[in-house]
Amino acid sequence: MDSEPPFEEAYNTLVLQSSLNTMKDDHKLDIYVGDCNLPLINLSHLSSHDQLERERCINEIAQAASNWGFFQVVNHGISVEVLESLEYEQKNLFNQPFEKKIQSNFLNLPSNSYRWGNPKATCLKQLSWSEAVHISITDASAMSGSTECNNLRLTMERFAKAASDLVKTLVEILAQDLGVQFTYFQDNCPPNSSYLRMNRYPPCPYSSSKLVFGLIPHTDTDFLSVVYEDQIGGLQLLKDGRWFRVKPNPEALVINIGDLFEALSNGVYKSVRHQVVATQFERFSAAYFFCPSDESMVESYSQPGIYRKFSFKEYKQQNKKDVQDIGEKVGLQRFLL
């Protein structure tokens, strides 16, 4: 049985409506105008005996969160073995028959854990040419079934544990820079409230026409994200009104600020809009999203605040409603004072 989602069959009408041969440039996607050199931070300096070197590293992290909202880290503490195992298991996962992946009890996970495309897309700009498994840490621990399933679960748990340790280091630094007590995160972000997402971007026959996203433009709904990506490339971020391509670094992980940290920091840290462009090559990535429990309240740490106080549950519900009503997430703009 074929493992590929039926993108072309499902979205043939959208492709025809777009009139590929006569598409005007202003209907094409907003894509990169050049490469950007993200801040590259060597986290081994945090354990240096040289106090100035440690302080420089801490300042680099805070500055990157403020100026870019994105940065890359090396010597991050997640072993090559864990990352390579994750990519191997990920490929096995997405190589399973499509009819099996869309079953409601796939891997003993909640329904809608496996996702592909965008069933609500009304134009190609709303379509993500990708498939994903998006689950909470709790759901990952509940996975059961075949030996392959158990291997995947164990690998995901190892990645989640290592990513969690990395996040705690970064969040403690960023909180300290704001003057926010780290106990806020300890109290509101239990280990099982975070999420894992594994992405596969199939080769796209329309990539050269610049009409289809691999993943539509968005910001992350969390405090902090840790992303492991292969070397194909495709991740882009919006800075100063222009899209820039993030060059993959085989030794680095990508870190980015999420909406909740922007709100908590009163806009000091930036949750930056980013996207993945579709290419003719298969691409994989995996992400760990550091989230609070649903009842946790997020409020600007300084006054006057930019955003009103809200719960994580309320924020997710508003995002879901916007996607259903208008086809995309609006995010923090809904919570401006």
In this prediction, residues 226-246 reach a mean pLDDT of 93
**CATH number of the domain encompassing residue 50:** 2.60.120.330
Got the DSSP string for 103-138? STTGGGPPTTSEEES-TT-SSGGG-B--EEEEEEHH
Q: Report d(CA 162, CA 160) in Å as an integer.
A: 6
Tell how far CA 245 is from the center of its chain: 16
From start to end of the chain, where are the E strands?
Answer: 34-36, 40-42, 70-74, 114-116, 131-136, 195-201, 213-218, 224-229, 235-239, 242-246, 253-257, 274-277, 283-290, 297-298, 310-311
pLDDT of amino acid 26: 47
Flag whether 187 is in a domain: yes
Looking at 179-295, list the stretches that DSSP marks H as alpha helix, in order from N- to C-terminal side: 183-188, 259-264
pLDDT of amino acid 21: 45
Flag whether 94 is in a domain: yes
For the purposes of burial, counting CB atoms within 10 Å of the CB of 90, is it exposed (0-12), middle (13-18) or buried (19 or more)?
buried
pLDDT in tens, 15-44: 666 654 444 544 566 666 788 889 999 999
Q: Say if CB 117 and CB 5 are below 8 A apart.
A: yes
Flag whether 322 is in a domain: no
pLDDT of amino acid 16: 64
Q: Say if CB 258 and CB 226 are below 8 A apart.
A: no
pLDDT in tens, 102-152: 998 888 888 889 999 987 777 777 889 999 999 999 998 888 767 778 899
Number of structural domains, the chain? 1
Q: 101-133 in b/e burial notation, b at 16+ Cβ within 10 A?
A: beeeebbebeeebbbbbbeebeebbbbbbbbbb
Flag whether 316 is in a domain: no
pLDDT of amino acid 28: 60
Flag whether 313 is in a domain: no
Residue with tokens 């809608």: 112
Residue ranges making up the domain that contains 167? 7-307
Flag whether 95 is in a domain: yes
In this prediction, residues 80-91 reach a mean pLDDT of 96
Residue 282, pLDDT > 60, answer yes
Residue 295, pLDDT > 60, answer yes
pLDDT in tens, 195-228: 999 999 999 887 776 778 999 999 999 999 999 9
Give the number of other CB atoms < 10 A from CB of residue 136: 18
Flag whether 326 is in a domain: no
Q: Report d(CA 230, CA 299) in Å as an integer.
A: 36
Flag whether 1 is in a domain: no
Q: Say if CB 128 and CB 214 are below 8 A apart.
A: yes
Active centre residues (catalytic): 283
Q: Which is it for the CA torsion 213, 215, 216, 217, positive or negative?
A: negative
